[in-house]
Amino acid sequence: MAQIREFPLPTPSINPSYGITAMNEEDRHHLVPKLRRIVKTAKQLNKLEAANIYKGAALLFRENLAPQELLTLDWVSKSHEWMYKDVWQWAGQIRNRDLDMPISASLGYMVRQEIKDMLDDALTQIEYSSYPEEEICVRLHHRMVKTHCFINGNGRHSRIFVNKLAGSIGLADDTFDWGQNLIRSKTEARAKELYIESLRIADDTGDYEPLIKVALGDLS
């Protein structure tokens, strides 16, 4: 199975930004019932999420899926459900409500169609070799994060999802580092800054080179 490469899980914040969605008391009610009285701290929540994400990613990587099979709304939803269903009731449920966030997350009613559009675009890019394979994967990751397909867990889910896509189009299992090399060479905080900064550059200018470098662990 491919190695699962991930940033350490972010701590909930009252000032959410790219990479972090705030957890409030209303969100707490969306924990699976058995956890509502157990989870008291962000550390506990992160530990439970990490275990679930690893288990869900392992299930996804066992599936033998061609790109046209993987790049469907059903697999986007199912893979997210596998990664979060032990912790959150909303696992796998496509977002249909608006979010109060300082990024351009899509309006709730648009999300389902936008997911279909981005998956169709990725399939077309693969079919016609519109970009290098690594860039096709990174472009999809960026669109998944920006659309904010689910209430939470979007960055972690989309990184693992495009890792799976990379394998399905013939790239090596360890093609994407997603900042682990940056964490080892610099600091975790700086690695996250570079990742978030590269997402914003893609937003503002359409330049994917910085995000591709972070994804590949390129420090140059």
The CATH number for 73's domain is: 1.10.3290.10
148-154-160 Cα angle (round to 5): 135
Residues 38 and 142 in one domain: yes
Report if residue 10 sits inside a domain: no
Q: How far is CA 22 from CA 12, 15, 110, 189, 204, in A?
A: 5, 7, 22, 18, 24
Report if residue 154 sits inside a domain: yes
Report if residue 140 sits inside a domain: yes
DSSP-assigned states of every residue in 106-169: PPGGGHHHHHHHHHHHHHHHHHHT-S-HHHHHHHHHHHHHHHT-SSS-HHHHHHHHHHHHHHHT
Helix 133-147 × helix 111-128 angle, to 10°: 180
Residues 151 and 74 in one domain: yes
Residues 168 and 68 in one domain: yes
Report if residue 37 sits inside a domain: yes
Residues 133 and 212 in one domain: no
Report if residue 4 sits inside a domain: no
* Structural domain span for residue 124: 25-96+103-172
What pTM was computed for the model?
Answer: 0.87
Report if residue 190 sits inside a domain: yes
Q: What is the tally of structural domains in the chain?
A: 2
Residues 112 and 195 in one domain: no
The pLDDT profile of the chain, 220 residues, written as one tens digit per residue, is 444 444 333 333 323 345 455 455 776 789 999 998 888 888 889 899 999 999 999 999 999 999 999 999 999 999 999 999 999 999 999 999 998 765 567 889 999 999 999 999 999 999 999 999 999 999 999 999 999 999 999 999 999 999 999 999 999 978 998 877 655 655 777 778 889 999 999 999 999 999 999 999 875 5
Does the CA dihedral 212-200-204-146 come out positive or negative? positive
Residues 122 and 210 in one domain: no
Report if residue 13 sits inside a domain: no
Which residues pair with residue 17 across a beta bridge? 20
Report if residue 1 sits inside a domain: no
